[in-house]
Each structure stands twice: as C-alpha cells, then as structure tokens.
Amino acid sequence: INCSGGSIRVAPSPHAMLRKVVLAGLAATAVDAFTAPSGFFGNRQAPAAKINSVKPVSARTQRVNGAASLRAAEATKSKLPASVKPGVVTGQALVDLLNYAKENNFAIPGVNIVGTNSINACMEAAAKYGGPIMVTFSKGGGQFIAGKSLPNKNDEASIAGSIAGALHVRAVAKQYGIPVVLHTDHCQKAWLPWIDGLMAANEDYFKTHGEPLFSSHMLDLSEEPLEENVAICKKYLERMAKCNVLLEMELGVTGGEEDGVDNSGVDSSRLYTQPEEVWYTYQELSKVQNGHFTIAASFGNVHGVYAPGNVDLKPVILHNTQKYISEKLGGKDKKPVNFVFHGGSGSSLEDIRYAIEAGVIKMNIDTDTQWAFWDGVRGYEAKYHDYLQGQIGNPEGATKPNKKYYDPRMMLRAGEESMAKRLMQAAQDLNCVNVV
C-alpha cells in the first residue's frame, strides 16, 4: 500500500506482477505454428442414456442447465485460496485448489509429458491461459527421461527419470507464475514398485522440505476385484497421508491403449461405473486420517482418438453418483466426490462441460497433445525442408550453411509452441482460463 498526497493506492500482488511479466515475455516469442481445428475435442457424442435406477436428465436440459450454471459461476467466481501460490502445489494447498476448481466449475488439464520440452510447453500454456496445470509422468515417460538405453530392472530407470523430471519442474515452475500439480499416471498392480520408489523419494523430500516431491499419484487397479482395488489403494493412501500426497484411483476401466496399458479388448460393460461402487470406495478411503483422494470413475472413457460414434460417453453416470452419495451423506454437500476424467482427447465439448458440472476437477489429455507436438515439428520441417537436406547448401546459395535450421532446438521449439497452443484451446474448453 502506497500513501501519497492523501490518497491510498494498492500495489499489484507479487503473484500478479510475476504473471504479467511472464505473459509479456511468452507473447513476444509466440509463433503461430499450429492452427487448432474448430471444436478441439471433435464431434459430439450420443446423448447420455439411463444408468441404474436414477432418471437421467435429457440431453437438451443438460446443455441448457449446464450453460446457465456455468454463466452463473462465472459471475460469482470465488477468490483463489491464499494457500495456492505459483510453483508446485501440494498438501492442503492442492486440496484447496481442487475444491476451488469444483466450486467454480472448471477442470485442470492433466497432461502426459515425456521430457523437458513437453513439460515446458505445459507451463507455457498455463501462463498464457491464466490457470493451473497438472504435469503428469507415466512409467514409460519416466523411463524415457532417464534414457531408453538404460536397463529398467525393478523400474529403476522409470523411478530415476520421474524424479529428475519432477526436480526440473520444481526448479522452474515459479518462473511461470502459475500453480503446478506434479502427478503420476496409471500404475497397475504389476507396476507398484515404481510408485514405491517415488514414495520413498516423497518421504525423503518431506523430511527436508516439509512437503512431498510429487503432489499426487494415481493407482489404476481397476482390473482387480473391487474389494482388492480399494484395499490396496487404502493401504497406499495411509502411507501417502503421512507426507501429504494425494491419491487418485480408478473404478471401472478406461478403454483403448496408452503407454503400455492396453484395455482395447475389454468388455464394454466394464467401461461404466455404478454409484454403489463409488460409494463403497468413498466410505473406505474416507477412513484414512488426513487422506485426500480423487476418483476416476469410468463413464465410457477410452484412451486415444476414434471416429465419431465409436465412443459412447455417459457423464450422467457422474451426476447420478454424486446424487446417490450426497443422499447417503445427508444431502448437504451436493457434489461430495472429486472426479477426474480420463481419455479426454477426442471428447465433445458438450460431454466435457456436463462432466465438469458433475464435479470433474481434472481431465487427462495425452493423444491430442502428442499429435500437436508432432504437428509443430512436421510443420517446421515442411517450412524449411530445402534448408534441411545438408549442412551446406540451400536455396540462398550452394555454400550457405544450414546450422541454424537443423539446430535441434528449432524443431523442438516448434513442437513446444504447437503443443502449448493446443493446451490453450483445451483450457478454454475446460473453463480453466483466467482462474488464478
């Protein structure tokens, strides 16, 4: 606060000033390397169908009510919690951020990365759209960061690479002026040693810094019987709670294939979770002291992008489940569960917005951002093709050097810019623009 001439002026917060500087710098370097197609998530899917005994809302009512409530939320948007600051967000600050997202009807993009280029593209996009980002490491992505030539006995390379990537994020995240969630993706039962290694790193980091290295971890035990799935998740949540790590778990199965997890042949009935399953899970995990969790309840989700009509999403399942659990808890909290949306690439805007209305606070995006990165590299090669055929000689002359064109940073930067632009459109679809 600056008092001068009898008046009082309130200076902008350091957070706001930092983001303003970052945005100005990023805008100066932005290149229109990629033009996103209209309707980022593709064609609309079929309207939601009846699930269980709860009568679903009609597709038209979904659209009307959803649009109205989103406009109302925009008009009454609450203030970002004071605990949420630029940099990596963990513990209570992460819980506050997720609750803030649910209260204000937006979802955080959760993006799979494979190196510092895709990590930086995520944070560049978040700084531009003015919202949080979830940087997500897969087991395969961690191994790639460590180096594919390394043996991966006992998941040692996957553990080392994931830790290295997390430390990179922690070193630079504050420079972007936005909240970043450090997360890991699908971990099936056979891959639990990977999470064990990361939890050891969290516990060591917690001893020194008072917070974990990662913000959250996802266990995907959806192929196991429900009771076993929940029991293992509960056991891990008890360990995570001691160092303020949040758990994401999956119910039902996400179809398709992604990064070594292949559910392309799964029975379609397993793609749809029932409210009773979520309620059982909610009850069991809520018994863990200081335990915080999100649930990826399947509602027809499939990894990858498919032709229109091949994926039948039913986000009404999430609405019915919230209603079911709310009634079990007395009805005061209308959306007691924090849901996450897997297989977001290729989904219709209508389904995404309706899912957010049901308490989805994060949506996974991988296939679309992979394509966007490649499309940026492809566009760069096409533009400078004649300068990339040899070290010497190009259309400007037979003795002209081409070093500045084949410098790897040039094509990688084109990929970053394209991926960042794609994520900015995703953030728009998720209502995650100008929320910090």
Q: Which helix (DSSP H) or strand (DSSP E) does residue 364 occupy?
A: strand 360-365
Contact assessment for residue 328 and residue 74, using Cβ atoms and an 8 Å cutoff:
no
Note the maximum CA span of the chain: 79
For 393-427, b/e burial (b = at least 16 CB within 10 A) is ebeeeeeeebeebeeeeebbbbbbbbbbbbbbbbb
Strand runs (DSSP E) across 272-350, as ranges? 293-297, 339-341
CA distance 414 to 246: 34
The vertex-325 CA angle with 270 and 339, nearest 5°, equals 60
Computed from CA positions of residues 336, 342, 345, 347, in that sequence, does the dihedral angle turn out positive or negative? negative
- The single residue of 96, 155, 185, 386 carrying the catalytic annotation is 185
Of 256, 252, 249, 251, the residue nearest 345 (C-alpha): 256
Residue 150: phi, psi to the nearest 5?
A: -75, 145
Report the alpha-carbon distance of residue 427 to residue 339 in Å, rounded.
17
Alpha helical stretches, state H, 306-407: 316-328, 349-357, 367-383, 403-406
Distance CA 216, CA 411 (A): 32
**Residue 17 CA from chain centroid, whole number:** 26
Q: Is 39 left (phi over 0), alpha (psi -120 to 50) or beta?
A: left
185 is catalytic: yes
Contact of 388 with 47, CB cutoff 8 Å = no
Token pair belonging to 254: 């996400």
Count other C-beta atoms under 10 Å from residue 16's C-beta: 12
Which sequence positions are flagged as catalytic?
185
